[in-house]
Amino acid sequence: MNKEKISPHTVVIFGATGDLAKKKLIPSLYRLYSQGVIDEFPIICVGRKRMSDEAYLKFLDIGKYDKDRKKLKKFVKHLRYIDVDLNKSMCFELAEIVQVFDKKCGCAGNKIFYLALPYFLFGKTIGLIKNCGLLNGRGSKKIAFEKPFGSDLKSAEILHKQIGRFFREEDIYRVDHYLGKELVENIVALRFANSLFEHLWNTDSIDNVQITLAEDIGIENRGGYYDKSGAIRDMVQNHILQLIALVGMEPPKSLNADDIRNEKVKVLKNLRSVRKKDLVIGQYVKDPDSIGYRNEKNVDKKSITESFVAFKTYINNSRWRGVPFYVRTGKRMNKKYSEINIVLKDVTCGIFQRERAKHANVISIRTNPKESVDFLFNAKIPFTRNELKEAVMEFCHKCEFGPNTPEAYETLFHQLLQGNQGLFTRWDEVKASWRFVDNMKRMIKNKRIKLLPYRANSEGPNESFSLLRRDGRNWKNIKRRFAL
C-alpha cells in the first residue's frame, strides 16, 4: 500500500475509554505507525474514568496488537491517558500535557481532536477545547466527530452552529466509517473508470437497486443509545443514504472532495420521501438462541424502537426515472452481510423465454463479510439447447490485492491526517440526510405505522419481502464461490 509519511500532529482522542477507541481507533493508529506513515505522533487519550497509563494499556489489550514487542514498546511511548470529566470543564492538566507533547514532537501546533463521544457531549467538548487554549497558536486544528451528528435536523443544526463558532467547514471531519471501507470507496472507480458499467448506469438498463446492511448481532451493550436511536437514525441517516448517494450520483468534475460531495448532495436532496405503503419497520422477538429486543439491557420493556427497517425510494432525476431503490437493514438477522445489488432490466430477445424471469443480470458490490464485486449473468448449460444457469463472475478483492486491505478507520485516519475531506460528510449532506430521515420518522408517528415483530436470527419481517413482491421483484440472493 502506498502511503506517504505525514507531518506530525498531536492527536487528542476524547472518549478513549469507549468501545470504538479500544476496538478501532487506537489499533488503526498503531497500524499506521507500524507502516511508518506516522512516527513522532503523540496520542493523548481522554476518558472520564481515573486510571494510570499502565491500566489504560491493559484496557486496550495492547499486547495483542503485534508480536513485534520492540515496535509496540516504541508506540506506547507516544500514548498518554488522562481523565477529564467533560461536564466539569476543568482541563489544566490536559492543556499542559498537550503543550509538552506538542513541543517534544515538533508538531508545530498541528492538532487533531477526535470526538468518539455521544453527540450530546460535542458542544461541551468544543467549549473545553477552546477554553483550554488548545486552539491557540500556529498550526492546523482539525476536528473529527463520530456519527451520529445529532439526533434529528434540529439538534444537528444546533451542533453545527456551536462548532462553527470555532472551526471552519474545511477543518471539520464528520465520520461515517462506511466511507472508509475499501469497496465503498471503489464504487466511484467501478462506475467512472469502467465504460462497461457507466453506460449501463441509468433507467434504460437498470430495473432496480437493492441495498442490504444486515447484522447478526443484537444491540449488545449499546441499549441506552440504540433505544433512543433505532435502525433509521443509526443506519439509514448515515451509511445507507451515503451508499445511495454514491450509487446514484452524476459523474463528479474531479476526484476532489468537494466535487464528489457536490454530486452526492444533489442525490440526497432529490430523494423522494418514503410513502406509508413503502415502509416496513420491525423489532426482533426472542427465538431459542437469543433474547428479544425488549429484554436487552437498558431497553424499555415497552419499547417501540425499530431494530429493522425496509423501504422503497426513488431519486427524482432523469437518470433514475422510475428506478426503485429498495433498502433493508436490521439487527439480529440470520447473517451479517452488506451488499448493493444493481439489478439490470431484462433485454433478452425472447428466445430463452421460458427461463427468462429467473435470471436478471446483477452487478453486486459486497463489503461484508468478504469484499467483492460480482456480476451475475446467464450461461447455457452444456448439452442443452436453451437451458440457462445463473453464473457469477467474481472479483474477490482480497484475492487480487492481498489480505492487508486497510481497515476503514485506518483509511479515515490517514485521510484526516492528510487533510483530505473526501471520505467525510459535509454539512449540507448531513442536513439533507436528516431531512429525509425526519420525514420518515414523522410519517411513522403520524400515520401510526405498525411495528412488526420478527423472530431473532431470521431475515426480518415477511412484509419486507412483500415490499418487492408486489412490484413483481425479489431480494436477490447471490451465491458466490470465492467471497463467501
Residues that bind ligand NAP (CB under 6 A): 15-21, 47-49, 85-87, 116-118, 121, 146-148, 177
Residue 292 CA neighbour count, 13 Å, CB half:
17
Smallest separation (angstroms) from ligand NAP to the CB of 321: 35
Smallest separation (angstroms) from ligand NAP to the CB of 261: 20
Smallest separation (angstroms) from ligand NAP to the CB of 87: 5
* C-alpha closest to that of 125 among 139, 111, 115, 134: 115
The DSSP output letter for 20 is: H
Cα separation, 347 vs 355, whole angstroms: 13
- Cis, bond preceding 369 (omega within 30 deg of 0): yes
Q: Find the residue with minimal CB distance to ligand NAP.
A: 18
CB atoms within 10 A of CB 156: 23
Q: Is 336 left (phi over 0), alpha (psi -120 to 50) or beta?
A: beta
Smallest separation (angstroms) from ligand NAP to the CB of 190: 25
Smallest separation (angstroms) from ligand NAP to the CB of 47: 4
In whole angstroms, how far apart are CA 110 and each of 54, 98, 133, 303, 417? 27, 11, 13, 45, 10
**Triad 136, 141, 147: Cα angle to 5°:** 130
Q: Which is nearer to ligand NAP, 101 or 226 (CB)?
A: 226
* Residue 41 cell numbers, joined: 505522533
Radius of gyration of the chain (CA): 24
Q: Which is nearer to ligand NAP, 177 or 328 (CB)?
A: 177
Smallest separation (angstroms) from ligand NAP to the CB of 21: 6
Q: Which of 9, 78, 177, 239 is catalytic?
A: 239
In whole angstroms, how far apart are CA 459 and each of 123, 297, 463? 39, 23, 11
Question: Is the four-CA dihedral 308, 313, 319, 322 of positive or negative sign?
Answer: positive
Smallest separation (angstroms) from ligand NAP to the CB of 400: 28
Q: Which is nearer to ligand NAP, 86 or 268 (CB)?
A: 86
DSSP 435-478: HHHHHHHHHHHHTTPPEEEEETTBSS-THHHHHHHTTT------
Question: H-helix or E-strand containing 82?
Answer: strand 79-83
* Residue 94 cell numbers, joined: 490536559
Cα separation, 139 vs 419, whole angstroms: 13
Q: Which is nearer to ligand NAP, 107 or 184 (CB)?
A: 184
Q: Which is nearer to ligand NAP, 376 or 416 (CB)?
A: 416
In whole angstroms, how far apart are CA 26 and each of 6, 231, 372? 17, 27, 27
Q: Which is nearer to ligand NAP, 20 or 373 (CB)?
A: 20
Smallest separation (angstroms) from ligand NAP to the CB of 119: 6
The DSSP output letter for 336 is: -
For cell 462506511, the residue is 178
One-letter amino acid of 360:
A
Q: Which is nearer to ligand NAP, 237 or 341 (CB)?
A: 237
Cα separation, 159 vs 150, whole angstroms: 7
CA dihedral 292, 294, 296, 300 (to 10 degrees): 180
Q: Which is nearer to ligand NAP, 233 or 359 (CB)?
A: 233
- Cis, bond preceding 148 (omega within 30 deg of 0): yes
For cell 474477490, the residue is 396
Q: Is 402 left (phi over 0), alpha (psi -120 to 50) or beta?
A: left
Smallest separation (angstroms) from ligand NAP to the CB of 15: 4
Whether 177 is catalytic: no
One-letter amino acid of 67:
K
Q: Which is nearer to ligand NAP, 87 or 316 (CB)?
A: 87
Cα separation, 5 vs 23, whole angstroms: 24
Catalytic site positions: 239
